[in-house]
Amino acid sequence: MSTDATPDPLVFGQRLQILRTRRGLTQDQLGGLVGRSGSWVRALESGRLKTPKLDVILRFAEVLRIRELADLTGDQSKRANLFAGPGHPRFAAVREALNTLQLGAGREAPSPAHLTARLARAWSARHAAPRHRDVIGALLPDLIYDAQAAVRQSGTVADRKAAQARLAEVYFLAQFFCAYQPDAPLVWRVAERGMVAAQDSEDPHTIGLAAWLTTQAHRESTHLDAADAVTLETLRYLEPLLPDADADVRAVAGALTVEAGLTAARRGETGTAWRYWDEARRLAETLPGSYFHPVTSFCQAVMGAHAVTVAVELHAGRESTRQAARAEAEAIPSRPRRARHRIEQARAYHLDGQPDVALATLAQANETAPETVQYNGHARRIILEELEAKGPQRRRRASELSARLGLLTT
């Protein structure tokens, strides 16, 4: 049998057109998302323009959420995962628990108080751990089985609704774990189960959280209209409740308002994006200064981090670095959220043409929570781009980060 590789018949432009169409984007929309025109994308796809440089290819990959760079370039000799991590050692056990169907009564459900306390400890451990998937991956299988058993064994309608709220929260935790793992459809199944359980609970706080996570899943898949539909409908549902709502419900409304702003920013709608950010900031100011939402991380301290992301998504280089300089990472009481903020700051500096500062900021993120950097597609894109930099010092720093995080696969 011949061992010769079959030549790839598709050129870059054809691959780009296929991947763009799969995402449901027009040429004008894709051009806007990468800071170019629709006619420029059209010229690339038709072959009138040659394959762009690596930094542009990586930008396409980021916008189109391409998990394997070779899917866009066609070069199978250099493989690099962008938006899927290497697969956590505990992922198989978590996936098995999510996929297992249990209909019998063989497992005795824990008490509601016990399950609630375990969930609280899981969220607390996640925020304190530099490698949070190690922690929650160990807890999730039993939490999934026990929360499902609690729903099945509920004795009254009220008990069942409360149990559905706890089950939904377990699915929220699972969605954090499964993000960027090598099974994208599983993330959607978990998100849908969380939404169904939340609606069955009839609890506004739980429904808001399910919508918050579903919105992110839609936006990360470039389904911006679907993201808006979920966000805005849920905000309409929550708005009449806010005058008498507790801090948790107000925080979820604030987090959803941020999501509306980020979706607008992804579209390039500057005024709308900042208007939503202002509304979210006003909601944050109604919360106690020490308040921190355990699922969304919404609090007063995180609003600066959100401002950085809004500016970056708008491709506003100067504004993004201004916001990055103002936002204090150490005030955020969560290691993975602090690391994510550092990544957003790195995106801002990279966008503004400061790659050395971007790499240094990613190194800070790595010190805070290395797993967050390892599984973050934006961080991976910056590092991969800087591996091709002209300056040897930048290449060396990018190579060191890449080696520490295991970003390249062969």
Sequence-distant (6+) residues with CB within 8 A of 27 are 20, 38, 39, 41, 42, 45
Among the listed residues 216, 335, 210, 324, the one whose alpha carbon sits nearest the alpha carbon of residue 266: 216
Tell me which CATH code domain 12-73 carries: 1.10.260.40
Residue 193 has which token pair?
A: 């189960």
pTM of the model as a whole: 0.82
Task: Categorise residue 245: left if φ over 0, alpha if ψ from -120 to 50, beta otherwise.
Answer: beta
pLDDT in tens, the chain (410 residues): 333 443 445 688 888 888 888 777 888 878 877 778 888 888 888 888 888 877 777 778 777 777 667 777 776 555 555 555 557 899 999 999 999 887 766 788 999 999 999 999 999 999 999 989 999 999 999 999 999 999 999 999 999 999 999 999 999 999 999 988 878 889 899 999 999 999 999 999 999 999 999 999 898 888 899 999 999 999 999 999 999 999 999 999 999 999 999 999 999 899 999 999 999 999 999 999 999 999 999 999 999 999 999 999 998 989 999 999 999 888 899 999 999 999 999 999 999 999 999 999 999 999 999 989 888 888 888 888 888 788 888 888 888 888 887 665 43
- Tell me the CA end-to-end span of the chain in Å, nearest whole number: 23
Indicate the domain borders of the chain.
12-73, 87-202
Alpha-carbon distance of 287 to 85, in angstroms, equals 35
